[in-house]
Structure 1
Amino acid sequence: MQTMPAHAAHHDDREIETLEEFDATVTARGSLAGYRVQAVDLTDRTRELLTTPTTGAVFLGCPMRENAAAKVRADGALVFPPVPDLPFDPYRGLVYSPDELFASLADGGYEATPDARAYAWFQRTKADRDIYASTLRALHDDAISDALDELLVGARVVGVMGGHAMARGTEAYAGAAHLGRALARAGLTVATGGGPGAMEAANLGAYAAPHDDEMLPAALELLAAAPKFTPSITDWARAAFEVRARWARGGLSVGIPTWFYGHEPPNPFASHIAKYFANATREDGLLARCTAGVIYLPGAAGTVQEIFDNATPNYYASRGEPTPMVLVDRAHWTERLPAWPLLRALARERSMEARIALVDRIDEVPEALKRLGG
């Protein structure tokens, strides 16, 4: 999985998302004509902007000197200035990192972090019907989708879905973590809804994948001291960052959470976090990118929704193979929340049976996914 897009100077991508890409493009091409520059601070690149053609370029939220802005506008470029006093950048070119979303956690607690401040802004603006605020949210979410697509080029992505209520220190949480580690060690990119519970456990497992086998049990023991994000998100998050500090350079995975459920914090074990304001965009985007399969651990309404959100495009697909789907815990999915009989009935109508499986235990998942072609 790529950690950031390749340099624009070396491929046909017309987007520039870092200062390094900007410098490489100017050096190699000698022109910015037709490029899209996203959220790159260009205040120290005035000379380059004054001497480089920028016809047809678009600068999205790029700070620059006034004389540079006047020159690129005269060239025919569009300049969308940075938006002041926002706790997020609507033009950002890359997905988030845990350190970015949880900045200030150590000093001010969770309430001081960019993640909490973005949620507070969302709470203030979501009901006022202000077209300006809704436009900023839409710009942000579209930028995140673009960044996520670039991040996952060539990756074999497997989704792990499950409830947020699964507590650290439980057997179920440990099982989900071991599953995430096994999937990552098999060369798959683990993607989750990015929140606590089963989602965090799977991202933790992927984080543990490069470390020796003893690391994961030790991390699980450390995390058990703060089993849930209630009553204190601060304590919950600090325990996760203690694990990250003790075992640095963890494996890569993706979390795709939403500020729509902002009372649930993102988990810090996903190396890349694509956080959205619009939950519908987030749900559809998460499942659509899980091309190597989707695994459903026991959950409640949200997980049931995700089963059929994924089954629907599989059912109506006119081309290609349906995405493999593995449901874990027979009793849960046939008795407590009987989604499996309905899923199997739909599968029979569209010859999808060879791409779905129901297993009793979480350790059966890798083999089932392999059997389904994931």
Structure 2
Amino acid sequence: MGRSAVDTLGRMTSDGRERPGEKQRGPVVLRGSRRNEETTTDQRLLDSRGPSDWVHTDPWRVLRIQAEFVEGFGLLAELPRAVTVFGSARTSRDHPEYALGVELGRALAEAGFAVITGGGPGAMESANRGCKEAGGLSVGLGIELPFEQGLNDYVDVGINFRYFFARKTMFVKYSQAFVCLPGGFGTLDELFEALTLVQTKKVTKFPVVLMGSEYWGGLYDWIAETVCGNGKIGEKDLALLHVTDDVEDAVSVVREAYKAWEDTH
């Protein structure tokens, strides 16, 4: 079949009318001046010459995002029951909060839970360390940041993410609870996102424990007196938060929630 016939067929509608000049690029239809592209997708793929600006385009970013989800799901699909521990990367190893994180990680491991953290230093390292030293599975989900250098040495299974939202999905999908050690904006972000997901029933039977009443007490009081007091949340929403200084109490909250979840599945 000659070119003119192909062009004519390509421009005919189902009822025999001629459609505007167009070019198909996979599922995409290009018309008018947009169709004047000389190369095909295969040709551009196989031809290694030319500028590299395409790696910074949004369609390429979509593939990177997809790859992060695939890698994360593949790595964590067979993870045993787990608890995510958040906390500040700035917590020093000689600080009492670091010792608390080690104790918490150890207790969770002894209770049969894997420990997931952001994989960084400080409080995250402490929880990974406690878990690993107790023989548990220590997991780190890192993030590309200008001021944090890779995964800590106590991570058994780890993955680094480019995108916060892909990483956040892994924290929620593969955890049975969140425990927050004292931390900054990152910890607060994860805390309130978890509370929102539980409040809106996107996730169920998901306790959120705040370790350290001196650190978290002011925030809890503000939520109780101002946010709940003004009717912005309900009493049952306030009950989603559990503040404690006791590691055994924290682990007990996690255990009970996990048992309730098991009973419904």
What's the TM-score, normalizing by structure 1?
Answer: 0.48
Structure 1 partner of 2:164: 279
Note if 1:342 corresponds to 2:223: yes
Structure 2 partner of 1:20: none
The superposition leaves residues 272-301 of structure 1 with CA deviations (integer Å, 9 ceiling, x where unpaired) of 1121111232234323432x1000111122
Equivalents in 1 of 2:250, 2:98: separation in Å? 15
1:194 to partner: Cα distance: 0.9
Partner SS state of residue 145, structure 2: helix
Partner SS state of residue 197, structure 2: helix
Aligned residues: 205
* 8 Å contact from structure 1 (residues 159, 190) kept in 2: yes
Structure 1 partner of 2:105: 180
1:168 to partner: Cα distance: 1.3
The superposition leaves residues 254-289 of structure 1 with CA deviations (integer Å, 9 ceiling, x where unpaired) of 111111345343212111112111123223432343
Read off the aligned partner of 2:140 and give its amino acid letter: G
Note if 1:197 corresponds to 2:197: no
Structure 2 partner of 1:326: 209
1:130 to partner: Cα distance: 4.2
Which blocks of at least 5 consecutive residues in structure 2 are unaligned? 1-44, 260-265
Query: How do residues 262-273 of structure 1 correspond to structure 2 at under 5 angstroms?
Result: 262-273=147-158
Note if 1:351 corresponds to 2:236: yes
Change (3 A) 1:341 1:167: same
Structure 2 partner of 1:298: 182
Change (3 A) 1:192 1:263: closer
Partner SS state of residue 142, structure 2: coil
Equivalents in 2 of 1:368, 1:341: separation in Å? 23
Equivalents in 2 of 1:323, 1:254: separation in Å? 19
1:195 to partner: Cα distance: 0.6
Change (3 A) 1:321 1:286: closer
Partner SS state of residue 275, structure 1: strand
Read off the aligned partner of 1:303 and give its amino acid letter: T
Aligned counterpart in structure 2 of residue 144 of structure 1, from 68, 77, 86? 68
* 8 Å contact from structure 1 (residues 160, 202) kept in 2: yes
Partner SS state of residue 205, structure 1: helix
* 8 Å contact from structure 1 (residues 141, 276) kept in 2: no
Change (3 A) 1:276 1:312: same
1:138 to partner: Cα distance: 4.9
Partner SS state of residue 194, structure 1: coil
Read off the aligned partner of 1:157 and give its amino acid letter: A
Partner SS state of residue 255, structure 1: strand
Which region of structure 1 is more displaced relative to structure 2, 150-159 or 129-138? 129-138
* 8 Å contact from structure 1 (residues 176, 205) kept in 2: yes
Note if 1:315 corresponds to 2:196: no
Read off the aligned partner of 1:253 and give its amino acid letter: S
Change (3 A) 1:298 1:280: same
Name the one with the larger strand percent: 2
Equivalents in 1 of 2:64, 2:209: separation in Å? 32
Change (3 A) 1:267 1:373: same
1:355 to partner: Cα distance: 4.3
Change (3 A) 1:372 1:147: same
* 8 Å contact from structure 2 (residues 97, 181) kept in 1: no
CA RMSD of aligned residues (A): 3.1
Change (3 A) 1:173 1:353: same
Change (3 A) 1:259 1:298: same
What's the TM-score, normalizing by structure 2?
Answer: 0.66
Aligned counterpart in structure 2 of residue 255 of structure 1, from 140, 159, 165? 140
1:185 to partner: Cα distance: 1.9
Read off the aligned partner of 1:153 and give its amino acid letter: A
* 8 Å contact from structure 1 (residues 298, 328) kept in 2: yes
Equivalents in 2 of 1:330, 1:284: separation in Å? 28
